Structure 1
Amino acid sequence: MIASVSGDVQAVLEDSLIVGVGGVGLRVFVTAAVRAQVHVGDGVFLFTTLIVREDLLALYGFETQEEERFFNLLLGADGVGPKLALAVLSTLNVEAIRRAVLAEQADIFSRVSGVGKKTAQKILLHLQGKVGAGSGLEVMALGDADGDVLDALTALGYSVVEAQTAIQAIPRDAPPDMETRLRLALQYFSR
């Protein structure tokens, strides 16, 4: 098994990197966040998972061991393959996944392209009891108004993680109506 890859980035592709290792270019599928931070010629170190199937030999790379662990956890959910697991990690970071599981919010997963309501529920059920409490961050349970704010922010092009961060920044004593909460969340982005 290939546990990690260290080398120079030879190419940044739509869904992966080509990493030069000992004269060989390895194609490593990575999250959107990793692709956004590296450029051709940069040195990179990634924790990896090798997926071997009858018709597939693919390497998936992650910045942290925790991301790799969540990738492997996601693979255990019924109906989730490597591409979908990587899409979940590209849309939601580890803490957002942890918060969604601890708050039992399957709808957060259905915001990932390719994840329907049934698959989102399967992911939630599979991850329950496996993600831990994390870094001590408060679990944010979304009320109806905040769920609508999250929908509005993602419709405006913000990622689920950015939207959740903006919602968390809304003062606790803010009025519960959706319009006020949306305005306050948008103010977070203008800072």
Structure 2
Amino acid sequence: MIASVRGTVLAVRLDAAVIEVGGVGMLVHATPATLAGLRPGAPARLATALVVREDSLTLFGFADDDEREVFEVVQTVSGVGPRLALAMLAVHSPDGLRRAVAGEDLAALKRVPGIGHKGAQRIVLELADRLGAPSSAPDAGPAQQDDRRSQVVDALVGLGWTARAAEDAVAGVLDGATGPVGGDEVAGVLRSALRALGGVRG
């Protein structure tokens, strides 16, 4: 197993990045939030998981070891493959998933594209004692929550869009709401904003 990669970022795409390791460009699939932290030409380290199939070798990258662990554990649920596991982490943080499972929050799980009511029930049932307890860290205050909305805009700017285009996309995703963005919503809002922008940089 390739547990991690460290090297220079050659390119950042909407769903993956190319990182040069020892002269070899490695394609690493990751969540929008993880990709937003990468910059072409800059060094980077990602925790990774290699998924081996008969006809392919696919490398998935994560901001830290906790994300990778959750990625691997959720795939033990019947019907959950690596793509869906990555989508779960694109919408929820590791602790967000832990809270959803512990609290049997089916609505939160169904926010992940590809997970329906029965799938959410199966995830809660099969992961009940496997993800561990969420962090006991207190919820962020209003100022920190407001900063998270700005984090989504900053991430889009870092990926190449103008500040105005990024702000408009985030506002569109949030339906013009001016309320704060919760910690578990950052990745989901970023993912939706990227989809709304459609890969066209302003």
TM-score by length of 1: 0.72
1:121 CA displacement? 1.5
Unaligned runs of 5+ in 2: 140-172, 186-202
Q: Deviations over 1:125-180 (max 9, x none)?
A: 221111222321479xxxxxxxxxxxxxx86388xx934779xxxxxxxxxxxxxx
1:118 CA displacement? 1.5
The 5 A counterparts of 1:90-101 are 90-101=90-101
Query: In the alignment, what sits opposite 1:30?
Result: 30
Q: Deviations over 1:35-58 (max 9, x none)?
A: 112111121111111000112210
1:83 equivalent to 2:83? Answer: yes
CA separation of 1:127/1:20 partners in 2, compared to 1, >3 Å: closer, same or farther? same
Query: In the alignment, what sits opposite 1:103?
Result: 103
CA separation of 1:96/1:162 partners in 2, compared to 1, >3 Å: closer, same or farther? farther
Query: In the alignment, what sits opposite 1:74?
Result: 74
Give the 3-state SS of the residue equivalent to 1:5 in structure 2. Answer: strand
1:107 CA displacement? 1.8
CA separation of 1:165/1:27 partners in 2, compared to 1, >3 Å: closer, same or farther? closer
Q: Which has the higher contact order (CA 8 A, sep 6+)?
A: 2
Which structure has the greater CA radius of gyration? 1
Q: Where do 4+ consecutive residues of structure 1 move more than 4 Å?
A: 163-166
Query: In the alignment, what sits opposite 1:116?
Result: 116
Query: In the alignment, what sits opposite 1:182?
Result: none
1:64 CA displacement? 1.1
| Contact in 1 for aligned 2:7/2:19 (Cα 8 Å) | yes
Query: In the alignment, what sits opposite 2:49?
Result: 49
- Aligned counterparts of 1:3 and 1:117: Cα–Cα separation in 2: 33
TM-score by length of 2: 0.68
Unaligned runs of 5+ in 1: 140-153, 167-191
Superposition RMSD on alpha carbons, in Å? Answer: 2.4
